[in-house]
Structure 1
Amino acid sequence: MNRRIGTAMALAGSVLLSSQAFAADVMISGEYSTQGRNVEGEIYKGIASVVQTGSHVDIVWVIGGHTYQGTGDIDGNTVTVDWGEHYPVVYLVKSDGELHGTWADGLAFDKMTPK
């Protein structure tokens, strides 16, 4: 019985390490062009800077003369960013390095393209 528990714990540990390793494999630090559509349906464009430390990210967006900041975490290919609003920005990291995201509870969208 103890052997089965030990095996189960070893498997759970390896799954946890695998997911942490995957997050570390996703490298998104850099400068981006950003564009999207806000909840009013208006299209916007700007720039963004991402600083990644392990699975943590800090993002600064400059859009229309306004600066927004957020912090978040990478889980697999999903980046969830708290930027001070009720709902976070949730991005998917695409294979080409783009980040496709939604904000305002899915009512608005953003696409970040590496420069």
Structure 2
Amino acid sequence: MAVVVDLLGGDGIAVHGELPIWLRVYPSVEGRLPSFSVDDWRWIRLSSVQEVQPRRAIAMGEDPAKWQLMVNVVANGQVYHATQRLFLGASVEKPVERLLTLVSAAVSEEQRRRMQL
């Protein structure tokens, strides 16, 4: 089982497969921070992700550079947290870019496989 998880200070995004097909996500509950429950996660197909959304999690004051943001994805009409981690200000751009790259690669691979059928 090829699960890739960066646990050493990275973005906390977990994918499955040599060419990632699956993304580990946590259900999003309005008004709550990402869940830290061990058994409260699931795998979704990366190719089913329709949106990648940086969202304010903790926003005190007027300076967006000091806000803590979470990264959500929308798949099949459901909103999920793509990681349990929060990101300070513009540091959210790196995990968002990584997710966009992963989703693009998964969609391209799925289309390539369909063309071979």
TM norm structure 2: 0.26
Determine which structure has more spread, i.e. the larger CA radius of gyration. 1
TM norm structure 1: 0.27
- Which of the two has greater helix per residue? 2
- Which of the two has greater strand per residue? 1
